[in-house]
Amino acid sequence: MTSLSKLTDGELTEFKGRLSRAGLTAEIVRLVNGTDGLAAAMVEALKAHPAFRLIHGRFNSLEDKLAMVRGWPGVTEEMLQAALEEGKERIALFERESPDNPLLDIVVSVYKPTAAETLAYARDRMRETFGKKFWQWEEFYADLAPDRVRYLDGVNAPTGGIRIEVVDLGAYFCPKSGMVPQDVRGPGSAHAAVIYAAAQDPEWVRQMDGTSVPYAIAAGFKLDVPGYARWSRSPSVHRDGGGANLDAFRVGNEYRGTALPSLREC
């Protein structure tokens, strides 16, 4: 664990301000200072908060995600157990590499028979997570017609069932030189996993700033948006205030604050 001495003056000032706004008073501080065991009890109470279960402070554990997905429409325990068995090697890969990659995530992806159905199902789960703080580009997502959504050629796209997937949410993030999705996308480009990550890891979305935590384009999907060049966009996820926005970015544009997540296979 990192010593308190490693905190900057700014971090300590912010911490003091947050405690003050939360109701910490001089009387409480004096009581803590004068009562054996009270400080330890405060720290233990803090550690019980769900935030302390987050991986890298932003991702829920696979265990917590499985608990969430058990309540999703059409999901059965048999499907989850089959996914866990099939995904053993990817789970092991995540456990090996996650400590050194703060943007590596593991998600539980539910696949439907078509790309459009999968995207619609994932979108609905994302909307359930953020509630009134979920926004989408209504011009496209209000009617996800089957002929408007395709998988990128060559990507692994199951036509049904559940898959445990490891996704690098920082792939191709180039804040200095930028990145053009259509130049770097390929068979490893993530699709549904990006939307499911938003549904299962809301803190990841809330931390998006385009600097340390990039926005994300699901380039494994291709979208044909009426009124725009055909198949010129892919779904994108970005922070919107305290919520999340499901948009559709142009794949021919250059992006500096955005990643093109990729799936990791063994």
pLDDT of residue 204: 98
What DSSP string describes 39-54? HHHHHHHHHTSGGGGS
Say if residue 109 is in the same domain as residue 41.
Answer: no
Residues 115 and 222 in one domain: yes
User: In the prediction, which pLDDT does 44 show?
Assistant: 65
Q: What average pLDDT values come out for the chain (266 residues) when binned by 10 residues? A: 71 79 84 79 62 87 98 98 98 98 98 98 98 96 95 96 98 96 98 98 98 98 96 98 96 98 95
Distance from the Cα of residue 91 to its chain's centroid: 17
Same-domain check for residues 103 and 27: no
pLDDT in tens, 81-126: 999 999 999 999 999 999 999 999 999 999 999 999 999 999 999 9
Same domain, 12 and 78: no
pLDDT digits (tens, 9 = 90+) for 12-32: 777 887 888 888 888 888 877
Count the Cβ atoms, other than its own, within 10 Å of residue 247. 19
Question: Residue 33: what pLDDT?
Answer: 87
Left (φ > 0), alpha (ψ -120 to 50) or beta: where does 51 sit?
alpha
- Phi, then psi, of 58 in degrees rounded to 5: -145, -20
Q: What does the block give as tokens for 22? A: 């939360």
- The pLDDT value given to residue 153: 97
* pLDDT for 34: 84
| pTM recorded for the entire structure | 0.85
* Domains identified in the chain, total number: 2
Tell whether 109 and 152 lie within a shared domain: yes
